[in-house]
Structure 1
Amino acid sequence: MQLRDQLQDILDSLGGFGPEVWLSVAFAGLLVAELLLSRAASPQQTRRWLAVLSIGALLVAGCWAVLQPLRGFLFLHLLFLDDQAVFFKVVIILGAVAVVAYEAFGTAEEDLYQPADRLPVEWYSLLTALVLGLFIMTMATNLLAIYLSLELVSICSYLLTALTTSRKAAEGSIKYLLFGAVSSAIMLYGMSLLYGMTGTLDITSTVFGVELAKNGPVVVALASMLTLAGLLFKLSLVPFHIWTPDAYDAAPVPVAAFFSIGPKAAGLLVLMRLVSALPGELQTPLAVIALASITLGNLSALWQTDAKRLLAYSTIAHAGFILVGVVAFNESGFQAATFYVATYLFINLAAFFLIDAFARSTAGSLRIGDFAGLGAGRPLLAVAMTVVMLALTGLPPTVGFTAKLLSFSALLQAYQTTENPWLLVLFGLGVLNAVISLFYYLKIPYLLFFKVSTRRENGPVPSVARQVLIGVLVAPIIILFMKPDWLLRLIANL
């Protein structure tokens, strides 16, 4: 392609890159707005204005992504914009708007109970930059684009973890950084091997598959697994899961809540595209990783006494359940994984917000034992917590049951086609792990309703706005169980 044609392609591609350009401008604009508002308004007014500007900027980016007509390759096959990428962008935007709204809707009285976890106003611009990286990840079909977008997401994540003044935040962010650096290095090495074998970075190119097929299956599988290391890290999958409990425990609740859904959504889409492009035999190793993640996450969560760490180990287990759909290596499996992530958005955000609401009722304590008896004073929140815990377990009448049913149905269908024994092992032990999770998920509702409080409730009632937001997140958990076809039809048409 001549230089003039390349420049024309870049100019034409800008029409499909509008939301990302807008987020870049919003990132810079929020930094400038922070400097101006900090001189002209009180800290509380500055925070409210920046929250409103952040929500507005994120909603504009989401609407722009949905309404833009351009589809196809961008920037010389560096990115690929399709309906699937747009769907995952919407999931990411919904998660980002929810966490900003939750943080902004708090009252001054509530914030007194966790002063060390109070996020500085810089977090709005950093979250916008993180969303920008995730947007690019959803479109990345070039190994270079995948790596660069993943690094942008990682750097923003490290900063958000360390943004508060507590020592725990500093320790958690350092662990996050060290494991992230190792996984990125492994991923880059795997990419270099793939480039050396194919001569191209474009995973959608026919040359990529043809040249890989000329190499031995063991070599291709090894290079492929090394390349997937960065995505396994973002998805909190074994063996790149060790950072998760410390980082989630260190980060404030809104940040940890977004970590549990945003990077996983974008990482899942990149993972599905990579395994579709790589001809190596990846089904068995991915099945082993899924099984290890589910088992380790569940068994570790059984012993937790801190609610946020329990949810951190829960995300490791659920990442394994999400991977079950990918392991099926068929269309129904990919659709099941997409359905799982989309519904996990509501379930996990509600879970984090609810434990934060109850923690503020106990002077900021996140110990599960301190939640005993709080259901009597907070009946609506306690019922919402019960619904969320049932969804995380995968029991009806919640959409968590539907998500697991779809994933394991696709896995069983794949076993009947391939007769890979590891798929049957994953099916059996995966279902058994879902039963094991009952013991720690239902512990919280049991304490809320059936135990007598050993301490007096001395915290504020969550603001009405926060309670409404939690209700908005809990409602789809029930609705999508009764009408899953609403979402399934949308996913099938992507």
Structure 2
Amino acid sequence: MSLTDQLNDILNSLGGFGPMAWLSVAFCGILITELLLLRSSAQPKTRLWLAVLSVFTVLLAGAWAALLPVRGFLFMHLLFVDNQAIFVQVVIALSGVFVLLYELLTSQPLREESGAEGRLPLEWYSLLVAMTLGLFLMTVSVNLLSIYLSIELVSICSYLLTALTATRKASEGGIKYLLFGAVSSAIMLYGMSLLYGMTGTLDLTAETFVAELSRQETGVVTVSILLTLAGLLFKLAGVPFHVWTPDAYEAAPVPVAAFFSIAPKAAAILVLMRIVTVLPVDSTGVETLAGPTITALQTPLAVLALAGILIGNLSALRQTDAKRLLAYSSIAHAGFLLVGVVALTQAGFEAVLFYIGTYLFISLAAFFLIDLLARAAGTDLTISKLAGLGPRYPLVSVALTVVMLALTGLPPTVGFTAKLLAFSALFDAYQHTGDNWLLALFVLGLLNALISLVYYLKIPFLLFFRPVPPSTEQALAGHLPKSAVWLAVGLVVPVVGLFLKPDWLLRLLTE
């Protein structure tokens, strides 16, 4: 391609790069605004301005992405914009807006003596915007170089957000997160180098990439792709790169942990789907082509999904801290997300995106509602200290019960619909391939819903069927902040509404 053609391609690509360019400019603007406001205004006023600017920035980026008319490759096949990328970008933007609003509405603990989370440092606003930028770039990356750089941007922001508060637990959690992230990045880079050595290109969409992989041994290609997936499994909290999750979630403030639970997963699962589909497949999905095909990845992915579901659920049974419980729950849900990927069909990929779209509301609502009850009790997020709060705060407690049912995957919540779509696609794939690992994942994955009942329903049981401990009775706050309550309870409405009308979301995914 001539220099003139390259310049024209760059200029033509700018229209599709609008949301990312806006986030880049806004990130710099928020940093400068913070410095200026701290010189001229009190910190509460500065916090309010920064929060409003951050909400506006992320909301505009999401709206811009949703209304973006541009589709196709950008910057000479470095990025690719399609409907799936735009859907995930909207999910990321919504999660960012919700956590920013929740932090603003609950920035003061209800009682000074309570153990509830206090205010986050002002730097968290710019870091969240920068992390959103990295996640947006992940969703449109189809080049190994752009994938790696965007993941590293997200990771660096994640490490800083985890260790942002001045506590020993935050420092330890951030260091553990950093160490595991460095290992996963090194493994991912090694896998990418193998793929580049075999194909001579970093472009996943290039015909050369697919053609050269088809000439290689199946085992070598499979191992190279699995190594490349290390960084994505790390962001997804997938096995075997899940060890950091409980410590980082426990160390991070509630809004940060809530954002970690959905936004990185949404971006990572989309990139993962793009990488696993680089191998050729015929119209029926049968390995009739020479060399490795896409079905060679089914068994390894099925093993990883099953391991995530089992480890997440079994580990959650022993937890006494709510954030650690939700962390292990997110590991299990990472496994459930991989169930749709394992099917390696269009129906499976649509089920994954549906799962992400609904998990946005379920996960954020779980974090917010539990945090509100902990604030009301003047305690930390220890599960046992939520006992007896149901009659005192019925709206929040009932909403949390609905969310726990959704996490389990029971009707009448959209958690049931999401799991139904994923496992239906998996069973269709098993009937087609006859792979016993797919059958094992199907059976054991469904049985794990019974295991999850034990720890998910433990919270509603404590809320409504156990008395308030005397120590908690004395510390109970009179009222919860109404705006924060309505935000958290409002997130539960789609959890039930999408169960009754799942076609509202499915229509967006199939257009």
Which TM-score applies when normalising by structure 2? 0.95
- Helix, strand or coil for the counterpart of 2:122? coil
Letter in 2 for 1:47: R
Equivalent in the alignment of 1:145? 146
Say what the alpha-carbon RMSD is for the aligned residues: 1.1
In the alignment, is the contact (CA less than 8 A) between 2:107 and 2:118 conserved in 1? no
Closer, same or farther: CA 457–415 of 1 in aligned 2, 3 Å? farther
Gaps of 5+ in 1: none
In the alignment, is the contact (CA less than 8 A) between 1:368 and 1:444 conserved in 2? yes
Between the aligned partners of 1:364 and 1:450, the Cα distance in structure 2 is 19
- Higher mean alpha-carbon deviation, 181-190 vs 33-42, is at 33-42
Equivalent in the alignment of 1:356? 371
Between the aligned partners of 1:292 and 1:253, the Cα distance in structure 2 is 27
Gaps of 5+ in 2: 280-292
Superposed CA offset, 1:295-348 (max 9, x none): 000000000011110000000000000110000010110011110011000000
Between the aligned partners of 1:398 and 1:158, the Cα distance in structure 2 is 34
Letter in 1 for 2:234: F
Instruction: Determine if the alignment matches structure 1 residue 285 to structure 2 residue 285.
Output: no
Corresponding residue to 1:456 among 473, 482, 486: 473
Between the aligned partners of 2:5 and 2:491, the Cα distance in structure 1 is 47
Matches within 5 A, 1:79-478: 79-106=79-106, 108-110=108-110, 112=112, 113-114=114-115, 117-278=118-279, 279=293, 281-454=296-469, 455-456=472-473, 458-460=475-477, 461-478=479-496
Letter in 1 for 2:156: I
Closer, same or farther: CA 366–253 of 1 in aligned 2, 3 Å? same
- Helix, strand or coil for the counterpart of 2:73? strand
Superposed CA offset, 1:400-451 (max 9, x none): 0000111100000000111111000000000110111000000000000000
Closer, same or farther: CA 223–370 of 1 in aligned 2, 3 Å? same
In the alignment, is the contact (CA less than 8 A) between 2:116 and 2:380 conserved in 1? no
Closer, same or farther: CA 28–372 of 1 in aligned 2, 3 Å? same
Instruction: Determine if the alignment matches structure 1 residue 22 to structure 2 residue 28.
Output: no
Letter in 2 for 1:131: T
- Higher mean alpha-carbon deviation, 105-114 vs 297-306, is at 105-114
C-alpha deviation, 1:359, in angstroms: 1.1
In the alignment, is the contact (CA less than 8 A) between 1:106 and 1:462 conserved in 2? no
- Helix, strand or coil for the counterpart of 2:377? coil
Which TM-score applies when normalising by structure 1? 0.98
In the alignment, is the contact (CA less than 8 A) between 1:110 and 1:459 conserved in 2? no
Between the aligned partners of 1:396 and 1:307, the Cα distance in structure 2 is 23
In the alignment, is the contact (CA less than 8 A) between 1:117 and 1:166 conserved in 2? no
- Higher mean alpha-carbon deviation, 463-472 vs 402-411, is at 463-472
- Helix, strand or coil for the counterpart of 1:110? coil
Superposed CA offset, 1:129-183 (max 9, x none): 0000000000000000100000000000000001000100000000000000000
Equivalent in the alignment of 1:74? 74
- Higher mean alpha-carbon deviation, 335-344 vs 39-48, is at 39-48
Between the aligned partners of 1:411 and 1:25, the Cα distance in structure 2 is 43
C-alpha deviation, 1:83, in angstroms: 1.3
In the alignment, is the contact (CA less than 8 A) between 2:379 and 2:385 conserved in 1? no
In the alignment, is the contact (CA less than 8 A) between 2:116 and 2:374 conserved in 1? no
State percent identity of aligned pairs.
Answer: 65
C-alpha deviation, 1:457, in angstroms: 5.2
C-alpha deviation, 1:106, in angstroms: 1.8
Letter in 2 for 1:479: G
Instruction: Determine if the alignment matches structure 1 residue 488 to structure 2 residue 489.
Output: no
In the alignment, is the contact (CA less than 8 A) between 1:361 and 1:457 conserved in 2? no
Between the aligned partners of 2:255 and 2:59, the Cα distance in structure 1 is 18
Superposed CA offset, 1:194-238 (max 9, x none): 000001111111111110010100110110110011001110011
- Higher mean alpha-carbon deviation, 270-279 vs 72-81, is at 270-279
| 4+ aligned runs moved over 6 Å, structure 1 | none
- Helix, strand or coil for the counterpart of 1:361? helix
Between the aligned partners of 1:125 and 1:107, the Cα distance in structure 2 is 17
Letter in 1 for 2:473: R
Between the aligned partners of 1:437 and 1:116, the Cα distance in structure 2 is 27
In the alignment, is the contact (CA less than 8 A) between 1:253 and 1:352 conserved in 2? yes
Letter in 1 for 2:100: V
C-alpha deviation, 1:245, in angstroms: 0.2
C-alpha deviation, 1:459, in angstroms: 4.4
- Helix, strand or coil for the counterpart of 2:491? helix
Between the aligned partners of 2:480 and 2:100, the Cα distance in structure 1 is 16
In the alignment, is the contact (CA less than 8 A) between 2:388 and 2:464 conserved in 1? yes
